[in-house]
Amino acid sequence: MAGVAVEMSRERFEELVGDALDEVPAELLALMNNVVILVEDDPPPEDPDLLGLYEGHALTDRGWDYAGVLPDRIFLYRHPILRICDTDDDVVDEVAVTVVHEIAHHFGIDDVRLHELGWG
């Protein structure tokens, strides 16, 4: 596994995640339901370059019987994000893009549509 390109504390990284969430329109955040956002240092070993992951039931897949389930989880993986960034500003941008990307999955938007919208 390659080293980290940008050195940044976990606390600072988590602040950037909070800042990225602050940029999401309040109307959109209000529609998010039963979801938590977590920062992990490393992704699963089978996908070491993964920047983020959405685990759960997208809002578009929830039916009348959706109840009593654990919250959906959005993971942001600190080390892979830091590895692909050259500056702190790059980290700010990449965290924001990754947060939006994973929130979009919560709303049922797939990778193909995200790429079409420029949120690769």
CATH number at residue 37: 3.30.2010.20
Range of the domain at 46: 10-57+71-116
pLDDT over threshold 90, residue 85: yes
Examine residue 75 and state whether it is found in any structural domain, yes or no.
Answer: yes
Strand ranges across the sheet with 52-55 = 35-40, 72-77, 52-55
Q: Are 76 and 42 in contact (CB under 8 A)?
A: no
> Which of the residue ranges 17-21, 28-32, 49-53, 112-116 has the most confident prediction, judged by mean pLDDT?
49-53
pLDDT over threshold 70, residue 120: no
Question: Which of 66, 41, 60, 59 minimizes the C-alpha distance to 51?
Answer: 41
Examine residue 93 and state whether it is found in any structural domain, yes or no.
Answer: yes
Angle between helices 10-23 and 88-106 (to 10 degrees): 60
pLDDT over threshold 80, residue 3: no
Examine residue 4 and state whether it is found in any structural domain, yes or no.
Answer: no
Examine residue 14 and state whether it is found in any structural domain, yes or no.
Answer: yes
Number of structural domains found in the chain: 1
Examine residue 87 and state whether it is found in any structural domain, yes or no.
Answer: yes
Give the model's pLDDT for residue 77.
97
Examine residue 1 and state whether it is found in any structural domain, yes or no.
Answer: no
pLDDT over threshold 90, residue 104: no
Give the model's pLDDT for residue 1.
47
